[in-house]
Structure 1
């Protein structure tokens, strides 16, 4: 269904389990790849990942605009963007893999920056 390999994390923070996996098309007639969403929870907190084509947007992309703080940096040869919002009590991180044609966005309510990096790196370093 997608033009890229679906990435699933090989690293999940302790206590978290996958609670949902979904695929959807935002624009069926546009020829875009489906967005792949994975949601994890430990019963008290949760995080979700959204994998999609480099140029695609989805609900997490729109939510992304509401974060007050943003930091871009390179890690292990990948370009990351880390965002944080005190108002929303949430953090987020995005990694792009242009040579493979996709990006992954992660939104969390209680994960540290380091834990988010570990999850995303486990999805792209294979």
Structure 2
């Protein structure tokens, strides 16, 4: 599991991104359980995630951040990253971000993909 904390802050909300190998829904569930063993992540407002399986099956979870899983999936498709789950974590800061929340999700996924071995640097 790779984690990047404090990727971005916006109007009090703080974001982090995590990722790792996942070739099935069971692997995703195991990854999320491992992530949430850290109390900080378990108490986060949202842990939105997406994964593209090698057979092309898309899986996603918004965890209350409507539309965030789809944003993650689209970025995984563009990057050609399969069998790898990415989780964007948000700790809500008290101010609604509207459409900007999608830009923050994109910032997190981009930060993760850009630092991925073999990815753009």
Which has the bigger relative contact order, CA under 8 A and spacing at least 6?
Answer: 2
User: What TM-score, normalized to structure 2?
Assistant: 0.40
Which structure: larger Rg?
1
Q: Which has the higher helix share?
A: 2
TM-score with structure 1 setting the length:
0.39
Larger proportion of strand = 1
